[in-house]
Amino acid sequence: MPAHTAPPQPATGRSETTWQLPHTPSSAPRARELLRTQLITWKIDGEVAETAELLLSELITNSLRHASTPPGRKIGLRLATYDRRLRVEVADANNRRPTPRQAGPEDVGGRGLTLVQALAERWGCCPRLHGIGKATWAELALTTPPQSPPAR
């Protein structure tokens, strides 16, 4: 499953990479692995990297649990940097927009989007760029601009 990566634009600090993952539970750990690898490449670490991994985990879990999708449809994963921000985005083939809910003290789940709201600088949902469904995203401020790998 090769990544599709836009060429880095050093003057603007913009970079982007995307993957398509199967709509299966095994995609959550795979997505976290892809995120960690990409953040290392971009030299994004520390609290931003840790928070980005938690945000991605919540977004992809929400998609896997709640987005009933047609058979064979994949989940899109997009990571992007721009304007000193890191965007983590998960797209699925379901049009139903996620909404945070109040989980009770005894509830086992239901806190994912509340965590996203609390940790992300901004978050939201928009129509899926390519295909049916939606993309749910969260953004974090970057304290230092991401670094592109050296040109070969």
Q: How do residues 16-58 score in pLDDT, each as one tens digit?
A: 999 999 998 899 999 999 999 999 999 999 999 999 999 999 9
Please identify every stretch of the chain with a pLDDT value under 70, giving residue numbers as ranges: 1-12, 100-101, 103-111, 144-152
Please work out, in degrees rounded to the nearest 5, the angle formed at the alpha carbon of residue 152 by the alpha carbons of 143 and 78.
Answer: 45
Residues linked to residue 19 through DSSP beta bridges, in sequence order: 77
| 131: helix, strand or coil | coil
Q: Alpha-carbon distance 121 to 106, whole Å?
A: 28
Number of residues that make up the chain: 152
Residues 6+ apart with CB under 8 A from 33: none
Q: Alpha-carbon distance 121 to 15, whole Å?
A: 19
